[in-house]
Every structure is written in structure tokens, then in C-alpha cells.
Amino acid sequence: MVMTDRYTNAEWAVQIAETQKNVVAKLEPRAVPKLNSREFAQTIDHTLLKLDATATQIDALCSEARIEGFKSVCVRLPFVARCVSNLKGSPVVVACVVGFHEGTQDSHSKFREAQAAVTAGASELDIVLNHAILTSVSPPPGSHQSVPSDATTASITASNTASNSRPFSSKALAIEGPYSDLSSSAASSLLGSSAAPPTPNYSAIYTELASLRSLCPAPTTLKLILETAALTPSQILAAATLAAAANFDFIKTSTGFAGRGATLDDVVLMTAAANYLSTQQPSGGGSPVRRRRMQVKASGGVRSLEDAVRMLEAGATRLGTSSGLWIMQEARRVVKERELSPEEKARAERPGGGVTRLYTDNSVDGY
Ligand SMILES: O=C[C@H](O)COP(=O)(O)O
């Protein structure tokens, strides 16, 4: 079943231009669940997506998720049924990726994959946006961030790490609004114009997303992977607008397989977009009910407790990571260290004392 579009492409351009004009990305650090709490573990989708994953590794992934109390295991379709069986009777759910990792597959193949995953017992689907459609119209010179080749990924990951670990400050935000590639008035004028609008095929994206939602209704959780490394901030806002219109539950940063992973800037911008879009009525006489607020999932390159805490502070409520065990181990170590008396701490910090000090700055809330 393929949904028909609600709007013309020019009408989508107007709505998207409104989002691009109104969203203001601001760092407003959020409280992070206590590190040794169930709530903290529940932010993690314990992820194994490499193509050569074995059944034994998948079984271990499920046991680890059960023991740590993670929210889900996130796997590819061939392993969904196995995970569902492994996790029977536990609260850990199974998430399956769809269109992974390129996102450019034919819509019908995504529909089949999504339906097969739900039939096999997946409760959450992490679907890759067809970002090639979104980037098919050139943005203004200098603003496009193409997905880098593997050869450049290492240096980008290094600069990503540097940018993610800078201190929180509104001045530190690298992305500055307004985010429009196309002004609202230019978009509006397209409505009365017979010329083909110089916009991406938003309708094609919306149709794919709305069809997926209709094929996989709630309570299946739908997350849209934007692959933010491939997008400009304005394109991220366009994708968020279409995801909200199609009633997706999450927007997610990255596959972890193409270019850099999640950055704080991505997460702050996506959080601001989710907030803004939740206050907007669907136009064109839609339901008077306020839209549900989409959540934000940070994924790709979330490797340490510090990464995890920063992404949660920036507004993510879910983390997709293959480093969940290490993050939990660090969390336990930090909590243990805090519980020591000053004398015990001093003793432990002596060489060979047994406790590794991870942080020198305890000023961040929630640590
Ligand atoms: O969606 C999750 C990512 O594929 C995980 O990426 P990661 O291996 O960099 O943690």
C-alpha cells in the first residue's frame, strides 16, 4: 500500500522553509539519568550491524542487553527472529534496520523489509532516509557536506571528536541559523509559478515515509536515520519536517557506516527541530491535535561514557552504539569512585590503587 502525498512539492517547500526560518538551535544542557540507573541503561540501543556478524555474536549481544537492561538490541533483518527468541520474557525489544546503510533502495524493497521485520517480531525500525533525493538539488556553494570516502573518514572522525568534546557554550555552536537554502517568500512564490521549483523531490520522500508509517502503525516505533554527515543544516530541517509529517517517533543522526557519526551540533539542531515541529499544526486543515514530539537518537561514534553523557545533555533520548558495554563499565567505575570516602579515593588514586579517574571536572549535572 503506497500512500498518496498530502501536498504538492511546492507546498512542502513552503512548510520546510517555515521550519528552516523558525528553528533556533540552542545548547540547553538537559539532565542526564543517574549513571547507575535503569533509566540510563534504557537510553541505549545495543547495536551490532556489521555484515559479518555471527549468530554467536548476536546471542552474546542479546545476553548483554538483558544483563545491562538496555532498551533494545539493534540488528539486521536476518537476525531479528533469533533475537526475539533469545529475548523472550525480557523487557529488551528488538530493533531492525531498514534500507541500511545507503537508504537509496527502491521504496518497495524498504516496505518489504519493514514488513518482514515486524512479522519476525521487531518492535522498532531504524529506517535510512533516501538522502540522495534530498541532496539532489545543489545547495548554495560552500554549504554542502558530502559523505566522505573511507580514506577521509579517519581525519573527520578526529575533528568530530574534537568538536564533540568542546565545552558547552552557545558560542561554541558551529551551526548558525537561519538555515534556509530557499527563503520562505521564494518558496511561497513557487506556489503560483508554473516553472518547476528548484527543490528536491520532497513529495517522494514524504510518500515513502508515510507509506512506511501506514504499513507499520504504532506501537511499532519508527526512527528515521538522516545520515547527517551527508546533509546541510537546512537539509536536516527538511528531513525532520517530513519525518514529523509522516508521524515518525524518532529522528536519528547516522548509520555509523558513512562518514562521521553523531555530532553535538546535529543533536542540538535536531532537538530544536523536534521541539518546534511538535508545536505546529499540520497545515491544510489537518487534525487539531498537537503533534507528538519526535525524540532524537544519536548514533555513530558514540564510544565512551563522556560521548554518551554529552549526547544526552544535548537533547538525545536514545543512543545507538556498539560500545554499550564499555559505556556501562565506565559508568560503574565513575559511580564507584564517587562513593569512596576522601581517604579511600586518595588511596585508590595512588599508582596501582585500582580506580581509574575518568573525569577531573565534576561540574556537569547528572554525573
Ligand atoms: O546505529 C548505530 C550505529 O551503527 C552504531 O555505530 P557505532 O558502531 O559507531 O557505535
The predicted-structure confidence for 181-202, as pLDDT tens digits, reads as follows 544 455 555 455 555 546 899 9
User: What percent of the chain has pLDDT above 90?
Assistant: 66
- Is residue 355 in a domain? no
Lowest-confidence segment of 188-197, 203-212, 339-348 by average pLDDT? 188-197
Which are the contacts of 268, defined by CB distance < 8 A and separation ≥ 6? 25, 26, 27, 173, 175, 314, 315
Which are the contacts of 243, defined by CB distance < 8 A and separation ≥ 6? 129, 209, 224, 251, 294
- Is residue 3 in a domain? no
Lowest-confidence segment of 29-43, 165-179, 246-260, 305-319 by average pLDDT? 165-179
Residue (of 316, 297, 273, 290) closest to 15 by Cα position: 273
Quick one: angle between helices 202-215 and 9-22, nearest 10? 90
**Span 221-232, average pLDDT:** 97
Query: 300: Cβ below 6 Å to ligand 1?
Result: yes
**pLDDT tens per residue, range 139-160:** 444 443 444 444 344 443 444 4
Across all residues in the chain, what is the average pLDDT?
83
Which are the contacts of 245, defined by CB distance < 8 A and separation ≥ 6? 6, 15, 206, 209, 210, 282
Query: 256: Cβ below 6 Å to ligand 1?
Result: yes
- 281 compared with 287, residue with greater pLDDT: 281
Residue ID of nearest Cα to ligand 1 atom 2: 320
- 162 compared with 348, residue with greater pLDDT: 348
Query: 160: Cβ below 6 Å to ligand 1?
Result: no
**Span 290-295, average pLDDT:** 83
- Residues classed as catalytic: 126, 252, 297
Distance CA(284)–CA(338), nearest Å, equals: 55
- 149 compared with 54, residue with greater pLDDT: 54
- Checking if the pLDDT of 116 tops 50, the result is yes
- Is residue 357 in a domain? no
Query: 324: Cβ below 6 Å to ligand 1?
Result: no
**pLDDT tens per residue, range 238-275:** 999 999 999 999 999 999 999 899 999 999 999 999 99
Confidence of residue 283 (pLDDT cuts 50, 70, 90): low
Ligand 1 center to 352 CA (angstroms)? 34
Domains in the chain: how many in total?
1
Which are the contacts of 138, defined by CB distance < 8 A and separation ≥ 6? 144
Lowest-confidence segment of 94-98, 155-159, 227-231 by average pLDDT? 155-159
- Is residue 221 in a domain? yes
Q: Which domain holds residue 144?
A: 9-349
**Span 128-137, average pLDDT:** 91
Ligand 1 center to 254 CA (angstroms)? 8
- Is residue 134 in a domain? yes
**73, 62 contact by CB (below 8 A):** yes
Residue ID of nearest Cα to ligand 1 atom 4: 256
Ligand 1 center to 320 CA (angstroms)? 6
Q: Which neighbouring-strand residues pair with 79?
A: none
- Checking if the pLDDT of 4 tops 70, the result is no
The pTM score is: 0.82
Query: 321: Cβ below 6 Å to ligand 1?
Result: yes
Lowest-confidence segment of 196-200, 204-208, 274-278 by average pLDDT? 196-200
Q: Which atom of ligand 1 is nearest to the CA of 49?
A: 4
Query: 234: Cβ below 6 Å to ligand 1?
Result: no
Domain with residue 199: its CATH number is 3.20.20.70
Give the model's pLDDT for residue 149.
Answer: 42
- Is residue 288 in a domain? yes
- 82 compared with 291, residue with greater pLDDT: 82
Confidence of residue 340 (pLDDT cuts 50, 70, 90): confident
- Is residue 236 in a domain? yes
Ligand 1 center to 98 CA (angstroms)? 14
**Span 21-40, average pLDDT:** 94
Distance CA(81)–CA(160), nearest Å, equals: 36
Lowest-confidence segment of 18-32, 101-115, 264-278, 285-299 by average pLDDT? 285-299
- Checking if the pLDDT of 25 tops 60, the result is yes
Give the model's pLDDT for residue 353.
Answer: 52
**Span 152-171, average pLDDT:** 48
- Is residue 367 in a domain? no
Ligand 1 center to 319 CA (angstroms)? 9
Question: What's the grid cell of residue 260?
Answer: 562521521
Give the model's pLDDT for residue 338.
Answer: 87
Query: 301: Cβ below 6 Å to ligand 1?
Result: yes
**114, 141 contact by CB (below 8 A):** no
